[in-house]
Amino acid sequence: MQTIFNVIVPIFGLIAIGYAVARLKILSHEKGDALTSFVFMIGVPSLLFHTLAGSEMKAANPLLLWAVYFGCVAINWTIASILVRKIAGADRRKSVIAGVAASAKNGVFVGIPAVELAYGQPGLQVLLLIIAVHLPVIMMTSTILTEWAAVVDAREPGRNPVPMSSGGALRRVAKNLGTNPLVIGLALGAVWFTFGLPLGPLDEITASLGRTASPLALFALGMSLDRYSVRGDIASTLIASTLSIVLLPVLVYFVGSQVLSPLWLKVAVLMAACPAGINCYVLAGYFGSGQRMAAATILITTLASVFGLSFWLTALG
């Protein structure tokens, strides 16, 4: 109970304050967007760089961790896509977005604060091993699958066929990843870590900026929730939300408990229990499909993760 109080209350207290500030119009959404930009472009990349550059996990081999976590993500994604097509009657593009909503996690805005408060720097270093490939894997998989789905849907009667542009899709993914501040922060941290470079003044500079990341990220997330709604697309939203909050962490726990060390298992399960990431809404808007479902899933899973994270923190110890 004390662990829940020490971890959950600060996290969702900051989210609630951010939501109240936006709802009461104390700060405008434009200021919230600026705050989110700072967190995404400066605060979190600094935290990622500083944590990875100073990491002491010299012998860490993340292959097993990645196999467990992303293997479970693949299963969850597939189930979500199938159920949304069969039950909600969605087209293939929307079913891909449902898979993203059910499986892509808010590891930056919620996962980092939760793991840092619960397990400290050792846990945060393990989380970075997941985050390092989480964004590239989700972006590449969702883009390729959605491009494919658009072509297949267009071949159905009554629709105009469209050419498949997998090469263009991959180029867009590569460009987005190459200019993504989180990827840049991780890449620079990996260079410092690999070659054992001294941080010098960068140590205190990036540490100071990194300390702003967690509280501001949670506050900005709370402000953004004022924009989302649960109206419409109820069936798809409930499927994606349930699989995101319930099934994925259960899968990671049962598979990971067989092969992962205790700390790695705890961090992987907490990551899986985080709410849906904002990227699912961005992808839905970009591909013009499933925007309402993505927005509602973010809102519902963020609220439900209060109970999900509390349960797993208690169960994992």
- The per-residue pLDDT for range 160-175, each reduced to its tens digit, is 544 545 566 567 667 7
Q: What is the pLDDT of residue 44?
A: 84
Identify the three-state secondary structure at position 231. coil
User: Alpha-carbon distance 145 to 99, whole Å?
Assistant: 10
26-30, 77-81, 153-157, 247-251 — which is least confidently predicted?
153-157
Mean residue pLDDT across the chain: 85
pLDDT score of 167? 61
% of the chain exceeding 70 in pLDDT: 87
For residue 41, the enclosing domain spans 2-316
Mean pLDDT of 69-78: 97
The structural domain count of the chain equals 1
Q: Looking at residue 227, what DSSP letter applies?
A: T
CATH number at residue 15: 1.20.1530.20
> Measured between alpha carbons, how far is 205 from 232 in angstroms, rounded to an integer?
46
Distance of CA 255 to the CA centre of its chain: 20
| Helix, coil or strand: residue 55 | coil
Kindly report, residue by residue over 45-54, the tens digit of the pLDDT: 898 898 888 7
pLDDT tens-digit series, residues 259-317: 999 999 999 999 999 999 877 877 777 677 788 888 889 889 988 998 999 999 999 98
At residue 181, does pLDDT exceed 80? yes
- Higher-pLDDT residue of 72, 228: 72
Q: Which of residues 147 and 25 earns the better pLDDT score?
A: 25
Q: What is the pLDDT of residues 212-246, one digit of tens each?
A: 888 888 898 888 887 777 666 789 999 999 999 99
The confidence score (pLDDT) of residue 253 equals: 98
pLDDT score at 169: 58
Question: Is the pTM value of this prediction over 0.75?
Answer: yes
**Distance, CA of 30 to CA of 23 (rounded, Å):** 13
Confidence at residue 161, expressed as pLDDT on a 0 to 100 scale: 47
Q: What is the b/e burial string over 60-88, where b = at least 16 CB atoms within 10 angstroms of the residue's CB?
A: eebeebbebbbebbebbbebbbebbbeeb
Q: Collapse the DSSP code of 79 into the 3-class scheme (helix H, G, I; strand E, B; otherwise coil) and give the result.
A: helix
Q: Which range, of 26-30, 200-204, 216-220, averages the lowest pLDDT?
A: 216-220
Residue 193 has pLDDT above 60, yes or no: yes
Distance spanning both ends of the chain, measured CA to CA: 10
CA 42 to chain centre: 18
As given in the structure block, the two tokens for residue 253 are 């726990």
Two structure tokens written together for 38:
């700072």
